[in-house]
């Protein structure tokens, strides 16, 4: 394999859960990503599902907690789970908080001077990483889907909406639906994109992108726990996403799940439904 180094490998559901590292050209640092390789990959190219994790996470959270590998093996999907930000860039302030900087790349391409060299997670996820996957694994790059949780749910939505046709399907767990109107998003966008450039903020907001989406049909699936503390704190704003989709004619299924919180216990419960959703478009 060129340009990537295998860090670990574990046999699982007939396939392999592996972790790789590589030197990222976009982020100018060493990055890790998890890859579940299904048993079907032994006989030919398979579809790809990208998973984007939330604040404070690394590639390990999804790999070890989501329980997704069994569904990936059933459907024959290669599942790619990258880290959530650059690491070890020695930028002043990148370790100061859990919701900005390290572990909190927010899937934007930063434009502020301090961050713009390294914090280019949007281009990393949508450009560099797919090239690496295509070069090193038996995949059908024309059959890709994307999903994520919280900050990563935001990332999945904007990556799909900003790149019409690149992903056949998209889904999210408790996504940050309208970041220009929530505290997490305002903090991140102010830091990465600049306080005065509010128009640029809209380019990374799913509710704003839906207003002008003009690509192949996308059917969005979202699960949101009703007992999610961040829902009551106004960080996630799922109603805004539903309203934006209704106004623009973009199909969305928003499932509000009684008693479920923001954790991987919630996600593991409904993970099979999301893989079945993607299978409708990938198989």
262 is catalytic: yes
Which member of 149, 228, 274, 278 is catalytic?
Answer: 228
228 is catalytic: yes
Which member of 53, 150, 169, 171 is catalytic?
Answer: 150
Q: What is the dihedral of CA 248, 249, 250, 254, to 10 degrees?
A: 100
Both tokens of residue 222? 């979202």
Which member of 75, 262, 274, 278 is catalytic?
Answer: 262
274 is catalytic: no
**Residues labelled catalytic:** 150, 228, 262
């Amino acid at each position: 394999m060129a340009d990537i180094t295998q860090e670990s490998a574990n046999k699982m559901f007939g396939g392999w859960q592996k972790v790789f590292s590589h030197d990222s050209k976009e982020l100018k640092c060493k990055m890790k990503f998890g890859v579940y390789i299904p048993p079907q990959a032994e006989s030919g190219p398979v579809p790809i599902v990208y998973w984007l994790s939330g604040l404070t996470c690394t590639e390990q959270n999804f790999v070890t907690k989501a329980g997704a590998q069994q569904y990936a093996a059933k459907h024959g999907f290669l599942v790619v789970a990258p880290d959530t930000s650059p690491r070890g860039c020695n930028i002043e302030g990148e370790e100061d908080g859990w919701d900005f900087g390290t572990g909190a790349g927010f899937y934007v391409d930063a434009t502020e001077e301090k961050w713009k060299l390294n914090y280019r997670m949007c281009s990393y996820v949508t450009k560099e990483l797919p090239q690496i996957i295509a070069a090193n694994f038996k995949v059908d790059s024309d059959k890709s889907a994307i999903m994520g949780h919280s900050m990563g749910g935001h990332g999945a939505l904007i990556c799909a909406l900003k790149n019409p046709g690149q992903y056949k399907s998209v889904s999210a767990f408790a996504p940050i639906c309208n970041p220009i109107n929530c505290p997490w998003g305002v903090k991140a966008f102010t830091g990465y994109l600049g306080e005065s450039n509010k128009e640029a903020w809209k380019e990374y907001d799913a509710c704003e992108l839906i207003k002008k989406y003009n690509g192949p049909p996308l059917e969005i699936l979202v699960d949101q726990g009703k007992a999610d503390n961040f829902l009551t704190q106004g960080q996630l704003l799922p109603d805004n996403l539903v309203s934006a989709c209704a106004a623009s004619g973009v199909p969305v299924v928003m499932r509000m799940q009684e008693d479920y919180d923001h954790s991987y216990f919630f996600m593991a419960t409904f993970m099979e439904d999301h893989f079945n959703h993607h299978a409708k478009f990938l198989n």
